């Protein structure tokens, strides 16, 4: 695992990617820092982080697009997957390498509140709490980017898909407000989701009976629930879609709440997508 980690980290800094990522990140944060804290004289570093969370939409794809797509394209995955290292460790090594690049940025950012301290008082707890939240948010996005990169041979496709996925999770907050809140549309939307999931399961497993019967069972359960306890369906759609709103979880941290459930949420995303990446790679080799 250490071999992969070292190799990945090195490749970030022998190519431009690592430097571009760090520089771009620092420039954007620097601009907001100057505007909020130096010109408008807010004593809140968390405002900066809250405003720059959109940065992940642009920068995470740059960081993660290469990870597996390049290996698939250059056929160097043949070297990795015929080595004695299990797939999980290879993926973990790669993930930690990206995380290290990201941590470099976070390390530099951690100095900013201290600089601010020289000119007045500010709540360090809130500032560092929000930096922690920011880091967890980034870690979750990087895991998603890594997963998408493992699905394709093309860096461009990986970058575009990661961009869109992260954009959707960022816009989800606004989308949720537009969704209908009554019971009937909740039932319809959930039914559509079940159909889509079954179709995906069919594509992945190529087994019509399993996916079809699973879909029918889910649909029946849903309908029975709807008939027996319709109150559950009030506002269900927005609740379901809120699960996908990754950025909204970060907002708590910027308001000075050290939200444990959000931390668990981010960390489970990391593990879930690590797991999915390994499964995707295995599936490709086993089909």
Partner 1 sequence: MIEVNNLVKRFGDHLAVDNLSFTVEKGQILGFLGPNGAGKSTTMNIVTGYISATEGSVIINGHDIFDEPEEAKKCIGYLPELPPLYQDMTVKEYLNFVADLKMVKKSEKNKMIAKIIGMTKIADVSERLIKQLSKGFKQRVGLAQAMMGFPDVLILDEPTVGLDPMQIIEIRDLIKRLSKDHTIILSSHILSEVSAVCDTVMIINKGKLIVSDTPDNLSKHIGGSNGLHLQIKGDKEKINAALSDIEEITKIDYESGAKDGIITLTAYCSEDNDIREAVFYALSDARCPILNMQSSNMSLEDIFLEVTQSKGRNKHGQGLGRRKNGPVKSNEAPSQAATDQVAALQKEQNQETESEEEN
Cα separation, 148 vs 166, whole angstroms: 11
CB of 130 within 8 A of CB of 47? no
55 by Cβ neighbours in 10 Å (0-12 / 13-18 / 19+) ranks as middle
Of 74 and 213, CB closest to partner 1:
74
Query: What's the closest the beta carbon of residue 2 comes to partner 1, in angstroms?
Result: 7
Q: Does 151 engage in binding with partner 1 (CB under 8 A)?
A: no
CB of 282 to partner 1, least distance (A): 9
Region of 74-82, 109-117, 151-159, 211-219 interacting with partner 1 (CB under 8 A) = 74-82
Sites for partner 1 among residues 96-125 (CB under 8 A):
none
Nearer to partner 1, 79 or 196 (CB): 79
Place of tokens 């509140």: 113
**Would you count residue 185 as binding partner 1 (CB under 8 A)?**
no
Of residues 13, 31, 54, 74, which one binds partner 1 by CB under 8 A?
A: 74
DSSP letters along 141-201, please? HHHHHHHHHHT-S-HHHHHHHHHHHHHHHHHHHHHHHHS--SHHHHHHHHHHHHHHHHHHH
Q: Does 286 bind partner 1 (CB under 8 A)?
A: yes
Residue choice 27, 84, 107, 174 for contact with partner 1 (CB under 8 A): 84
Please state the length of the chain.
Answer: 287
Residue 209 binds to partner 1 (criterion: CB under 8 A): no
CA distance 33 to 38: 7
Task: Decide if residue 15 touches partner 1 (CB under 8 A).
Answer: yes
**Contact positions vs partner 1 (CB under 8 A):** 2-4, 6-7, 10-11, 14-15, 74-86, 285-286
């Amino acid at each position: 695992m250490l071999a992969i980690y070292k190799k990945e980290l090195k490749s970030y800094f022998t190519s431009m990617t690592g430097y571009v990522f760090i520089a771009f990140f620092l420039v954007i944060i620097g601009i907001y820092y100057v505007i909020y804290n130096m010109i408008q004289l807010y004593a809140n570093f968390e405002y900066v982080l809250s405003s720059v969370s959109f940065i992940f939409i642009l920068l995470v794809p740059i960081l993660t697009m290469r990870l597996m797509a390049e290996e698939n394209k250059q056929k160097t995955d043949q070297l990795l997957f015929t080595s004695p290292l299990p797939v999980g460790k290879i993926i973990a090594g790669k993930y930690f390498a990206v995380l290290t690049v990201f941590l470099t940025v976070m390390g530099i950012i951690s100095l900013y509140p201290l600089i601010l301290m020289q000119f007045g008082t500010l709540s360090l707890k809130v500032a560092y709490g929000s930096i922690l939240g920011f880091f967890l948010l980034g870690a979750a996005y990087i895991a998603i980017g890594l997963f998408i990169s493992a699905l394709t041979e093309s860096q461009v496709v990986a970058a575009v898909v990661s961009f869109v996925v992260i954009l959707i999770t960022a816009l989800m907050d606004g989308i949720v407000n537009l969704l209908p809140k009554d019971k009937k549309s909740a039932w319809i939307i959930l039914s559509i989701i079940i159909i889509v999931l079954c179709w995906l399961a069919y594509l992945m497993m190529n087994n019509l009976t399993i996916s079809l019967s699973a879909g029918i069972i889910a649909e029946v359960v849903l309908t029975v629930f709807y008939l027996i306890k319709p109150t559950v369906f009030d506002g269900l759609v927005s609740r379901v879609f809120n699960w996908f709103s990754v950025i909204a979880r970060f907002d708590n941290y910027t308001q000075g709440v050290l939200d444990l459930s959000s931390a668990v949420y981010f960390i489970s995303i990391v593990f879930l997508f690590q797991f999915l990446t390994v499964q995707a790679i295995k599936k490709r080799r086993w089909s």
